[in-house]
Amino acid sequence: MRLYNTLTRELEEVRPVAEGHVTMYTCGPTVYRYAHLGNLRTFMLGDLIRRGLEFEGYRVTQIMNITDVGHMTDEASPGALDKMQLAVEDEGLSPLEIAEKYARAVFDDAEAVGIRPADRYPKATEHVPEMIELTQTLINRGHAYVVDSGSVYFDVASFDGYGSLSGNTLDNLREGHRDLEADPAKRSSADFALWKSAGPGRLMKWDSPWGVGFPGWHVECSAMSMKYLGDRFDIHTGGSDLRFPHHEDEIAQSEGAVGHQVVSIWVHGGHLRQSGQKISKSTGNTIRVPELIDHGVDPLAFRWLTFQTRYRSEMDFTWDAMDAADAKVKQLRRRMNEWAPRADQIGEPAKDYDARFREAVAADLDMPAAVVVVNEVVGTGELSEGEKYSLLASWDAVLGLDLEREATRAWAPSDEMTAKIAQRDAARSAKDYAESDRLRDELASMGVEVMDTPEGTKVRPRD
């Protein structure tokens, strides 16, 4: 598989550090609010990379963090509040209860759109000692400094590669990036917090060598990725909005602490828009999985919708396109039911389609091209029905559309149907075709397709 590496701005072959085993870290949800479809599209990217690599035969270990502390409302203001703390005040629940409530909701939503669970979900609040240790290492190595208030800042001028991921030069940053923290004690306005001293009234705070405080947001991903995947791992994913400052700062922290490259390939997903507007909490146009269900669409159809656009591009969500994707997925499942069972062997033309599908997935997840191959297979007269079934069933490991749902669902005729089937077979043996036709119509009116087979009358559900 080749992936577009944001760091080198080139397509690169995935070559895992450990033979046959890919390690991947995915920036996960903040759990003080619900995840919307834009968040889910981003999480789907990590899952799709994993599905594609497993399809190629790799073993994949995926870690996704849970951010339950450290997101500030406004980094620039001295009275900045942690968003988790705001949720606590709004909802009257403890931080732990808020985190549990929203983590459960995001896991449910992710499952509904076919995102398979990561191997581990480390929580920021459970890794504060690791973050303190990393911060101490950065101080010892001359990459960070403590100010009088007890906050610790990363000294960006001390790290040569700062800005290489996002393309932001230090000069640009000094021009006044709005979300840079304004603390007059900082050596440079571009320096960012590894540890912040806790003001009065702060709920979530911990002891540290520099006094009572809490970790900066970025340090959790450096500490947890290296704890679980080691200081050389293969892929790091996240939304394009995380390139700067989050991932730029993560590179500075991780590489500053260990003195060498940590992540091989950085992959970033494009935003989801609705009617041209970015979907976000602040624009008030967030759509969630329960709304898809209320609308009558299968949440898995959201996958098909996202496959129409390359993952790095912005994608526009419309309900018309969502409805069309839903109809398409349901149609594919019906066709699979018609085509079942799968062929024991597939011929050369089917192998060619398979190669084209695999190549599309391997080419930086070119899902629009994969969709074209799926549609060609559905429409072609070149393949047997059993071959079509075989191909789509195997590709569903990547597509994740539950395409065999109808074909494999347990179904048996009712007692009433069984009685009519027996009567019809008796009528046919007696060559009473008028009676046989009458019973066929009665069975058909019960919602089944009636088939004449050498073994007699057979029925199967009709949609």
Q: Are 113 and 304 in contact (CB under 8 A)?
A: no
- Give the pairing type, strands 152-154 and 272-274: unpaired
Shortest Å distance, C-beta 23 to Zn ion: 15
User: Which is nearer to Zn ion, 22 or 27 (by Cβ)?
Assistant: 27
Shortest Å distance, C-beta 152 to Zn ion: 19
Candidate ranges 121-129, 221-229, 299-307, 444-452; the one touching Zn ion (CB under 5 A): 221-229
Strands (E), 308-365: 315-317
User: Which is nearer to Zn ion, 135 or 436 (by Cβ)?
Assistant: 135
Shortest Å distance, C-beta 27 to Zn ion: 3
Site string for Zn ion, 142-171 (x = CB under 5 A): ------------------------------
Within positions 426 to 455, which residues make up the interface with Zn ion, using CB under 5 A?
A: none
User: Which is nearer to Zn ion, 266 or 339 (by Cβ)?
Assistant: 266
> What element of type H or E holds 442?
helix 433-444
Candidate ranges 175-183, 216-224, 383-391, 446-454; the one touching Zn ion (CB under 5 A): 216-224
Shortest Å distance, C-beta 142 to Zn ion: 25
Assess 399 for contact with Zn ion (CB under 5 A): no
Assess 224 for contact with Zn ion (CB under 5 A): no
Assess 229 for contact with Zn ion (CB under 5 A): no
Q: In terms of C-beta density within 10 A (0-12 exposed, 13-18 middle, 19 or more buried), how is residue 411 classed? A: exposed
Count residues binding Zn ion (CB under 5 A): 2
Candidate ranges 24-32, 189-197, 278-286, 454-462; the one touching Zn ion (CB under 5 A): 24-32
Shortest Å distance, C-beta 19 to Zn ion: 27
User: Which is nearer to Zn ion, 191 or 249 (by Cβ)?
Assistant: 249
Reading the block at residue 163, the tokens are 């800005």
User: Which is nearer to Zn ion, 27 or 427 (by Cβ)?
Assistant: 27
Shortest Å distance, C-beta 63 to Zn ion: 11
Instruction: Return the residue of 72, 106, 132, 221 that touches Zn ion, per CB under 5 A.
Output: 221
CA 372, 378, 382, 385 torsion: positive or negative? positive
Reading the block at residue 85, the tokens are 């703390």
User: Which is nearer to Zn ion, 131 or 221 (by Cβ)?
Assistant: 221
Reading the block at residue 432, the tokens are 């009473």
The residues, any chain, with a CB within 8 Å of residue 24's CB and separated by 6 or more, are 46, 49, 50, 60, 61, 62, 63, 229, 233, 234, 235, 236, 237
> What element of type H or E holds 45?
helix 37-55
User: Which is nearer to Zn ion, 269 or 413 (by Cβ)?
Assistant: 269
Taking the C-alpha atoms of residue 297 and residue 293, their distance in angstroms, rounded to an integer, is: 6
User: Which is nearer to Zn ion, 264 or 274 (by Cβ)?
Assistant: 264
Candidate ranges 3-11, 219-227, 312-320, 443-451; the one touching Zn ion (CB under 5 A): 219-227
The residues, any chain, with a CB within 8 Å of residue 443's CB and separated by 6 or more, are 417, 420, 421, 424, 450, 457, 459
Shortest Å distance, C-beta 242 to Zn ion: 6
Candidate ranges 105-113, 117-125, 174-182, 214-222; the one touching Zn ion (CB under 5 A): 214-222
Shortest Å distance, C-beta 246 to Zn ion: 6
The angle at the Cα of 146, spanning 258 to 214, to the nearest 5 degrees, equals: 80
Taking the C-alpha atoms of residue 24 and residue 237, their distance in angstroms, rounded to an integer, is: 8
Helices (H), 179-317: 219-229, 248-258, 289-294, 301-306
Residue 118 DSSP one-character state: P
Taking the C-alpha atoms of residue 52 and residue 64, their distance in angstroms, rounded to an integer, is: 18
Length of the chain counted residue by residue: 463
Shortest Å distance, C-beta 284 to Zn ion: 25
Within positions 232 to 291, which residues make up the interface with Zn ion, using CB under 5 A?
A: none
Shortest Å distance, C-beta 319 to Zn ion: 31
Task: Please name the residue that has the structure tokens 């609040």.
Answer: 125
Instruction: Return the residue of 3, 22, 24, 27 that touches Zn ion, per CB under 5 A.
Output: 27
Shortest Å distance, C-beta 364 to Zn ion: 22
Q: Are 81 and 88 in contact (CB under 8 A)?
A: no
Torsion angle of alpha carbons 202, 282, 6, 267, nearest 10°?
Answer: 80
User: Which is nearer to Zn ion, 248 or 396 (by Cβ)?
Assistant: 248
* Residue of 450, 358, 441 lying closest to 413 (CA atoms): 450
Shortest Å distance, C-beta 221 to Zn ion: 3
User: Which is nearer to Zn ion, 27 or 105 (by Cβ)?
Assistant: 27
Contacting residues toward Zn ion, per CB under 5 A:
27, 221
